[in-house]
Structure 1
Amino acid sequence: MNSRRQRPKSSRQVKPWEWFWLTLWVLLLTGSGIFCGWALMWLTRIPPLPDCDQVTPFHSESDLLYCAKAQARTGEPNSLVQSVLLTANWPKTHSQYDESQEVLKDASEQILVLANRWAQAGKLDDAIDLAEKIPLNTPLRKSAQAVIFEWRQDWEQGRAIEAKLRPALAASDWTLAKTHLQEFKALKSDYWLTTRYVFWQQQFLVEQQAWNQLLQARDLAGTNKIENLRQAVVLARDIDLRSQVWQAAEQDIDAWSKTVLDVALQRWQVGDRTGALELASVVPPSPHLLPAAQELLALSHAQTLATQADPSGVAPRYSHMFGLMAAVSAVNQLPANSPYAAADLSSVDQWSEQLTDLRRLTFSDRVARLGQRLTYDWAIHQAQMVEVDRPRRIQGQTMVAQWQANLQRIADRPILLEARSLAKPGTIAALETAIAKASEIELGRALRVEAQTLVAGWQQEIQVIEDRPILDAAVALAEQDKLQEAIAEANKIESGRALHSRAQGLVQEWTATIQIAEDKPILDEAKDLAYSGSLTAAINLAGQIGPGRALYDEARNAIALWKAERAYIWSIWEAEGRPVPGGDSSSTTESE
């Protein structure tokens, strides 16, 4: 019966067209969501900033204004000009006209400030070019034209003053030159008031000094003495080349040099070669000299170069090498038929030998700078090849001593590093081991002083470790008010120990505390006597505090005050005819 009541189960299937519609709606909903999300992002995103380097008038007004502001903030000349161009000629009806005018005015003001700075620095053309970049029909165009006119006026006046000042200095008319120099102060530009004024003031001093030197040289030359003539050449050659006097001095130098060389040739011919070379050494080279004079001059200059190359300092100098090379070359270039070539020039051989040694030392020094043991050994071997009688021998031995010291440092540095490492634990045993290690560096070694300094420091550390318990015990006793015991304990630290000065400072402090405790009642009682009128008794009582005590100075100040007060009282008594006590030891009170 139950089987008849059961109904068959439904087995309905989804048809294909129903799947199509379901998929379509899902796709439509998904696409709509994606589109709405993209639209929301597009609406809320920040618009990209314009590329101000590529901005043109065809961009939007907001982009133009943004770039104008950005370029005005840079303060650069080209950017400021671009900012002005972007904001000029905006119509007044534009909604952002007022804002653009503010940017235009700000950029124009910066242009004028920068142009004025250039003008004050002397860059007039650049300043005018920049100021003229402010367009027509803009607020600061008239100001720019006015400033440009002022600059040009100042430049015309300044150049006119210089045109008058230059010939006045050339003529050595110092009064007229000073008058023209003061005319700069009437100009407005800082360039003419400071830069050019200072320049011409210095030039005035240069010309004045050069003229005085030339007059002194002419006075010396006028004596017709060869030594004075030589000094005149030297003095005239020292004249500042920036001066206009130099042209006149150069003519005098040529004339005087010819006379000096003639006398030098005469001295050479009579056998006074040293005097001849000394005279010729002051003469400047000149293409107008006779061959014999030119050869003597070349020989003299060669000797001067060789003298300047004498050993000085530790390291060899390239300038000395080049000087010796030039000296040897100058002598070797003398013609074979020259009277100087046949002379006894033994010094040339010395220069050649010195040049050889100098080259050797220079190369050795460069090799030694590599800082390796092998390079130092090679450099020392080369430097020791300089013979004993050579001029560079002392310099070579000095360099050898330095290199040997560097070798000692290379050898001993690991010992010091190991000693430092051993001392790091800070214990007595570690420090003693480090001291023993550092003491391996023998006396006379390059690092001996550094090693002994470390040893001294470690010895002090050991003393501190040993004496610290004594000092701590003394401090503990002092904190318990057992000052005598604390002093006795601190005095156990002997003189010369690291903590001795610290211990003695505490001893002095505790001793002063004990003395104050002993003498304070005496001084207080003396003050009470003084307040009650017994000044003599107070003085006598306070006098019991002896020198060296902690309260001695305070007691002496109080005694001095009481004595002055007592003397004043006695002077009043004496004026009133009353008897005055006969001595300081009187026990009679002053109030009686």
Structure 2
Amino acid sequence: ERGGILPSQPIEPSASPRREEPFVVKPTSESPTLDESRLEVNQQTLAQAKRLIQPNQASLFSQAIAQARQIRPGEPLYDQAQQDITRWSQVILDLAEGRAKQGNFGGAIAAAKLVPRDDPSIDGKAQQAINRWQVSAKQQQQNQRIIQSAKQQLRRNQASSYNRAINILRKIPSGQPGYAEAQQLIARWSRQIYLIANSRAWQGNLRQAIQTAALVPSGTPSYETAQKAISRWKVGRR
């Protein structure tokens, strides 16, 4: 047995070389995803848009809308941006309407033209308003010329000149721009005619006072006062 052949031992297969796994960087809280990065950018975009806004400044709301439009469909905060655009568009139209109510039709039209077409409903209202205000602006210019023409008729202490001016102002139709101003001037000038007549009566010139008071147009605040004075002066009372 000493010189015999030792039993063969089983030979283990040699281990195959280990393949290294590729190095992959997994996202962590410190490495934001693409959506997270885009969210942060769009948050900053909306914040910048809101900082542009100033009350009663239609042009700045328009700039804010342009800023919010940078957020594209499918991106984070897109729906929020669209809501802001709609709200700011309505604000621009509200500012335009406020200017129109003050008689500033040129400013109203300029503001309404800044309303974007993102919301068809608001855009449609803006276009209708622009057409309406363009007509009003033309009427305003025409009626201002009438008012200026009436003022040019006035002569100090000449009752007939005030009467002519009043007749010119009555050409301005009710409801048009300048009508309220014309009515105020008519009331003031009819009062002036009566005061001229009353001054002549106190000077003892009753006949001329009656003729002057008769120039106070009917439908004016001083008409009834003038008629009563005429009745009084006809019987020789001042």
TM-score by structure 2 length? 0.50
2:140 maps to a residue whose letter is G
The match for 2:127 among 116, 127, 145 is 145
Q: Report what 2:17 is aligned to.
A: none
2:191 partner SS: helix
Q: Report what 2:97 is aligned to.
A: 116
Q: Report what 1:156 is aligned to.
A: 138
Instruction: State the Cα distance separating 1:70 from its structure 2 match.
Output: 5.8
Q: Report what 2:108 is aligned to.
A: 127
Q: Report what 2:174 is aligned to.
A: 184
Instruction: State the Cα distance separating 1:204 from its structure 2 match.
Output: 0.9
Q: Report what 2:235 is aligned to.
A: none
Q: Report what 2:11 is aligned to.
A: none
The answer to whether the 8 A contact 1:108-1:134 is kept is yes
Q: Report what 1:202 is aligned to.
A: 184
Instruction: Give the number of the structure whose alpha-carbon radius of gyration is greater.
Output: 1
Q: Is the aligned partner of 1:66 residue 2:47?
A: yes
The answer to whether the 8 A contact 1:87-1:100 is kept is yes
**Residues in 2 aligned to 1:98 and 1:160: alpha-carbon distance in whole angstroms:** 47
1:138 maps to a residue whose letter is D
**Residues in 1 aligned to 2:149 and 2:81: alpha-carbon distance in whole angstroms:** 54
Q: Report what 1:107 is aligned to.
A: 88
Instruction: State the Cα distance separating 1:119 from its structure 2 match.
Output: 2.3
Instruction: State the Cα distance separating 1:86 from its structure 2 match.
Output: 0.9
Residues 79 and 159 of structure 1: CA distance in aligned 2, closer, same or farther (over 3 Å): closer
Instruction: State the Cα distance separating 1:166 from its structure 2 match.
Output: 5.2
1:201 maps to a residue whose letter is Q
Instruction: State the Cα distance separating 1:212 from its structure 2 match.
Output: 2.7
**Residues in 1 aligned to 2:181 and 2:139: alpha-carbon distance in whole angstroms:** 16
**Residues in 1 aligned to 2:65 and 2:190: alpha-carbon distance in whole angstroms:** 51
**Residues in 2 aligned to 1:110 and 1:179: alpha-carbon distance in whole angstroms:** 37
- Can you list the C-alpha shifts for 1:161-202, whole angstroms capped at 9, x where unaligned? 343355457451488457435x132x4xxxx4xxx4443222
2:174 maps to a residue whose letter is F
The answer to whether the 8 A contact 2:65-2:88 is kept is yes
Residues 306-325 of structure 1 correspond to what in structure 2 (within 5 A)?
Answer: none
- Can you list the C-alpha shifts for 1:200-245, whole angstroms capped at 9, x where unaligned? 222111111222333444667796xxxxxxxxxxxxxxxxxxxxxx
Identity of aligned residues (%): 18
1:155 partner SS: helix
**Residues in 1 aligned to 2:60 and 2:131: alpha-carbon distance in whole angstroms:** 25
Q: How many residues align?
A: 159
2:191 maps to a residue whose letter is Q
Q: How large is the RMSD of aligned CA atoms in angstroms?
A: 3.8
Please, which runs of 5 or more residues in structure 2 have no aligned partner? 1-27, 32-39, 154-160, 206-238
2:189 partner SS: helix
Residues 507-522 of structure 1 correspond to what in structure 2 (within 5 A)?
Answer: none
**Residues in 1 aligned to 2:56 and 2:97: alpha-carbon distance in whole angstroms:** 14
Please, which runs of 5 or more residues in structure 1 have no aligned partner? 1-38, 44-58, 224-592
Residues 149 and 157 of structure 1: CA distance in aligned 2, closer, same or farther (over 3 Å): same
2:84 maps to a residue whose letter is V
- Can you list the C-alpha shifts for 1:344-389, whole angstroms capped at 9, x where unaligned? xxxxxxxxxxxxxxxxxxxxxxxxxxxxxxxxxxxxxxxxxxxxxx
The answer to whether the 8 A contact 1:69-1:83 is kept is yes
The answer to whether the 8 A contact 2:108-2:133 is kept is no
Residues 546-565 of structure 1 correspond to what in structure 2 (within 5 A)?
Answer: none
1:149 maps to a residue whose letter is N
Q: Is the aligned partner of 1:211 residue 2:193?
A: yes
The answer to whether the 8 A contact 1:119-1:127 is kept is yes
The answer to whether the 8 A contact 1:81-1:133 is kept is yes
Residues 92 and 184 of structure 1: CA distance in aligned 2, closer, same or farther (over 3 Å): farther
The answer to whether the 8 A contact 1:158-1:184 is kept is no
Residues 110 and 215 of structure 1: CA distance in aligned 2, closer, same or farther (over 3 Å): same
Residues 89 and 150 of structure 1: CA distance in aligned 2, closer, same or farther (over 3 Å): farther
1:184 partner SS: coil
The answer to whether the 8 A contact 2:166-2:189 is kept is no
The answer to whether the 8 A contact 1:84-1:134 is kept is no
2:118 maps to a residue whose letter is T
The answer to whether the 8 A contact 1:165-1:180 is kept is no
Residues 345-356 of structure 1 correspond to what in structure 2 (within 5 A)?
Answer: none
**Residues in 2 aligned to 1:114 and 1:203: alpha-carbon distance in whole angstroms:** 30
Instruction: State the Cα distance separating 1:121 from its structure 2 match.
Output: 1.8
**Residues in 2 aligned to 1:175 and 1:97: alpha-carbon distance in whole angstroms:** 60
**Residues in 2 aligned to 1:145 and 1:109: alpha-carbon distance in whole angstroms:** 13
Q: Is the aligned partner of 1:88 residue 2:78?
A: no
The answer to whether the 8 A contact 1:80-1:107 is kept is yes
Residues 181-580 of structure 1 correspond to what in structure 2 (within 5 A)?
Answer: 181=172, 183-185=173-175, 187=176, 192=177, 196-217=178-199
**Residues in 2 aligned to 1:76 and 1:162: alpha-carbon distance in whole angstroms:** 27
- Name the structure with the higher helix share: 1
